[in-house]
Every structure is written in C-alpha cells, then in structure tokens.
Structure 1
C-alpha cells in the first residue's frame, strides 16, 4: 500500500471532523497502513479501524497501549491524544478537581502564526487580557442562552425557568463588565456557575444537588459532569493546537497555571452543552457509555469545535495590538 502523505490526511478541517473516540482495554497499532485498535475475544483478535482523518481527539483509557507507528500516523493527521482513566477522566487529576493536562499534541511547524501573534500582542497587557477574559464570558453566556432554550432540550425534559435564566445572564453580564480585575471575574464566574447548577437541577426535577470536586461516585450528575467536562477539554486543546496558540497563555484561569487557556476555551461550551446533558442522563439512568455518546452527539450537532475556534480567532483579532514602526 502506498504511504499516505500528511497533507492528504489533513484535507478535512478539524472544525468539520465528526469524532471524539474513547478507547479502553485494547492496543493501537498500524496494520496494513491503517491505524487500528485490537481487542481480544477469547482466542481471537479483533481489529477495528480508526478513521484518523476524520478524528479530532483520541482518549485512551485503562488497559490501552499504543505503538510508536500509530502515534506517528495520528500526528500526521493532527489528532490530539489524551491519556485518561475509566470514563474519560484523566489519570492525573489534581486533588482540587482541576486536571493536569497530559495531552500529546501533534508536532508541526506549519500551523498558522497569525493567531498566536495576535494573542501574544495583547497577553502581556493586564488591561487587554482582562478585556479578553470578559469577552470570553459574554460569549459563554450567549451560548448558554441559545442552547438552554433549544426545543431539543425541552423535548427530553430539560425545562429551565426562562425568565430566571434571562435575568441571571443579564445580571452577570453587567457585573462582568464592571469587574476591576481577574480575581473579581473568577468570583463572579463561581457565583453564576453555582446558580446554573441549581437551575439545571431544577430543570429536570433532580432534587438537591451539590457540586463535588472530588469525584463523588455516588452522585451520577457529578460523575457525568466530570466525564463530559474532559470531552470539552479535549476539544479546547484541539482548537488551540489548530490555531497554534500555546495552552499556557490563559486570560482568566491564571498566567502561571499549566493548560489554563484550555479551561478558558472549554468553558465556552461546558455550561451550555455538557451541564444539561449531565442532568438529563442522570435522570434517565444512563451508564457512562450512553452519556458519552449523548455528549459527543451534542457537541457535534452544536458545532462546539467550530464555535471554540471562531471564538479564539475573534479574541485574537479583536484585542491584537498593532505596533507602529517609528
């Protein structure tokens, strides 16, 4: 079989790719020029193809191994690889409930420079960086307002109080614009997130809900929130890789925090898309696989990766500092 060139593998834009894969108890290798994963069924070995040219993120769970040749082919196709524990939660999660990122980014010297140059031109300016963080929050609120009202969510039993939702988002938008620094903005983010949790729980008649940051296995909504958030992190990491912006240059989650920008970008869709699905699946009695499938369908239907990429491009362009030559 003729070797497939990297350029031919990248003909499908990342924002148009359809798949996030989670694999466990298998081995990834190259077989006949294709990346496949192998599972054992008694004395048989079963081979399944991974359509790498149409894949954005690959999560490798427990019991997996991957060959150097498979990593090479995945890198050619620009696939983000993440190692995680069962259910899609990364193995090396911090005790505070915030993950340390162990993503393997494809190596490429040919990613665009326009967006990282725009990003870096404003990032060292505290005022502009705060303005960018506020812009992210406004985009996040607009996404929540649009998706939480969607007829599809109404049909599956997610019915938030629209007046309360509109009032909450309107009030927080005003508060965000008045915030003098990043710490104040983080405080407001925590406040509205708690309010959204209460509203989402009420929207499905879930009862009392307390967000647990230590992986509370007894509460399905908490488990699903952790699980779904890591899918959003994978998309956020992919969006930044596509645009060539390093993960450490956060605008809200701390200048010194590794991977902070991934959190900023993932927040654009976490509350809007993951949170409703977590409560819907918890009420429905879904298992981890059913929830993960529902999440990936939701992310694809709502063009989450497109939205992330466009948001980062807009921020990079809007706050770019033009340096005048003397």
Structure 2
C-alpha cells in the first residue's frame, strides 16, 4: 500500500463531513489503498467502500473486526472509532471518555492549540465557566427553535415551538437559566425542560404511559422510544467527540456536567442538538414502528439537513474565542 499524508484526506473539513457509519457482522479492512467492510451473503463475499475522507465516526457493533491497516488509514483520515453493542449502544471500549461513552480518537499531536488555550483562559474561573454553560444552554434553545420552525416533517407531526406548553416551558427555562448561580441549577433547569418536552412528544405521537428509562422500558409500547433516544444520543455523542478532538479541547474540561466527571464536555456539546433532533425523531419513529436502521438513517439525515455538526463547531469555537471576556 502506498503511504500518504493525513493532509491528503482533509479536503473535506470535519464540520462538513456527511457520514456516520454503524457496522455489524462484518470485517473492516484495507484493500488497494481503501478502507472496506466485508460481509457475507448467500455464500458470497461482498465488499463495500467506506469514504473515510467524508466520515466523522464509525461505530463497530456486534460481530465486527478491524485490521491494523484499516485503523491506520482511519486515524490518518481523522475518523473516530468506537466499539459498541447492537443498535449502536452502549459503547464498550475506547479511550478518554466516561465508562460507556468512549471513543478511539485519531492519534495526532499536531492539532491547533489556539482553542484549547482560549478555553483554559476561562475554565478555572467558576463564574466564567458558569457563563460559558449558560451560553451553551441558550444556544441549544436557539437551535431547537430554528429547527422546529424550519422542518416541515416535524411540523406535520405537531412539533411546533408555538405550542403553549412549549412556550411556557421555554420561558421558564430562560428565566431560571439567567438566574442560575451554579452548574447544578442549570442541570436541574435542563432536566425540567426535557421532562416537559418528553411529555409533549409523547402526547403528539400518542405514546401513552411513556417514562424515560435509559436502560429500556417495561412498557412494550414505549420501548422503542427509549431505545431510539439512547441510540440517537450516542450518535450525537460521536459528533460532539469529533468536534472536540478536531478543535483540540480535551473531553474533561466541561462547563456544566461537572469538573470531575470524565468526558463531561462531550455531553455538554451533544446537548446542543439532542432536544431539537434526537428527541422528536425518536418518538416519531417509535410511533411509526420503525426499525433501528430506519431510525438511524432518519436521524443521520436530520443531522445533515440541519447542519448539526456545523452548529457544534460554531458554538464551541465561539465560546473558546470569547475566553477571558466571558
């Protein structure tokens, strides 16, 4: 195989990359200078190309293996890799983030340091770190408002910001966020808003008896909604981890989820898009009895349509650049 520089694969910025792959029951390998995955069907070997220069994350599910040569090419292309269970959750092994939400980051120590330096200018100051957290919280609502006002498919299923219950919840959210004096206040306010949005989504999609359960539901009707929420959230974590790796900001320097929680900044960044995209589509796909693959295709398309990765990059860079002025 002919060696190449990682710069050869950076014509597409990470923020503009379109692909996240979830693979299962296959072997990922390098062949003729490309990364492929091999699957078997009707006693025939089938090879499929992975466009690594346009890929942010690869999740390897049940029954997968990967060669060293493939990992080397993925690393050179700046693709994050995670090993996970069926359906994309949970993540079993990688490095740098919390026990079930971890990623193998491409090993490059030559990334720009400007955003990390800017982040450090405010991170050790409690008041400035709180101000950064408030910026994240306001941005997630701005994104939700923009997406729900723009997306005709979501509107067709009743996901409109103008609903009185949503408006009341958002007004309360803004009031409590502005008044917060510590990160725990923000986490409580976030939890209260999400609870309202879950109820709103369950009513819209007629999923009676929904109760959020991260380990799965005891009600068969709402099992899929919980599973899809978990699945979509993990995909959002992948985009967040990619954003932070590219910008050179370590995952442990969170602004809201806790200074000592490993990988908490990934959760902060993923929260920017979860309410706007993952939450409504999890309920809609559950109502339509979609398969995991259909849900995954839908949520990845929504990420692309609404430039979720772009938005993550913009917000993290904006907060880093503000730095000491927060």
Q: TM-score, normalised by structure 2?
A: 0.93
Residue matched to 2:18: 18
Matched, 1:211 2:212: yes
Matched, 1:41 2:17: no
Matched, 1:242 2:246: yes
Matched, 1:296 2:300: yes
Distance 2:39 2:186 in 1: 47
Contact 2:80–2:105 (8 Å) recurs in 1: yes
Shift of 1:182: 1.1
Distance 1:92 1:7 in 2: 30
Distance 1:35 1:253 in 2: 36
Q: How does 1:141-180 map to 2 (within 5 A)?
A: 141-154=141-154, 156-160=156-160, 162-180=163-181
The 3 A distance-change label for structure 1 pair 320 and 100 is farther
Residue matched to 1:81: 81
Shift of 1:174: 1.3
Distance 2:164 2:147 in 1: 15
Distance 2:17 2:127 in 1: 36
Decide which moves more: 106-115 or 285-294: 106-115
Distance 1:135 1:252 in 2: 11
Distance 1:208 1:182 in 2: 31
Contact 2:101–2:234 (8 Å) recurs in 1: no
Contact 1:149–1:162 (8 Å) recurs in 2: no
CA deviations over 1:182-201 (Å, ceiling 9, x no partner): 11111111111101111111
Distance 1:66 1:15 in 2: 26
Give the counterpart of 2:276 among 272, 276, 295. Answer: 272
Distance 1:138 1:168 in 2: 13
Contact 2:154–2:280 (8 Å) recurs in 1: no
CA deviations over 1:253-311 (Å, ceiling 9, x no partner): 11111110000000000011100100110111100000000000000110000000100
The count of corresponding residues between Structure 1 and Structure 2 is 318
Contact 1:237–1:262 (8 Å) recurs in 2: yes
Shift of 1:171: 1.8
Matched, 1:282 2:286: yes
3-state SS in 2 of match to 1:40? strand
CA deviations over 1:77-123 (Å, ceiling 9, x no partner): 00011111011112449xxxx86332000011221111111111111
Distance 1:9 1:314 in 2: 26
3-state SS in 1 of match to 2:108? coil
Residue matched to 2:227: 223
Q: How does 1:188-207 map to 2 (within 5 A)?
A: 188-207=189-208
Matched, 1:186 2:187: yes
Matched, 1:261 2:265: yes
Q: TM-score, normalised by structure 1?
A: 0.93
The 3 A distance-change label for structure 1 pair 2 and 213 is closer
Unaligned 5+ residue runs, structure 1?
none
Unaligned 5+ residue runs, structure 2?
none
CA deviations over 1:153-172 (Å, ceiling 9, x no partner): 34542334523222211221
Distance 1:276 1:77 in 2: 32
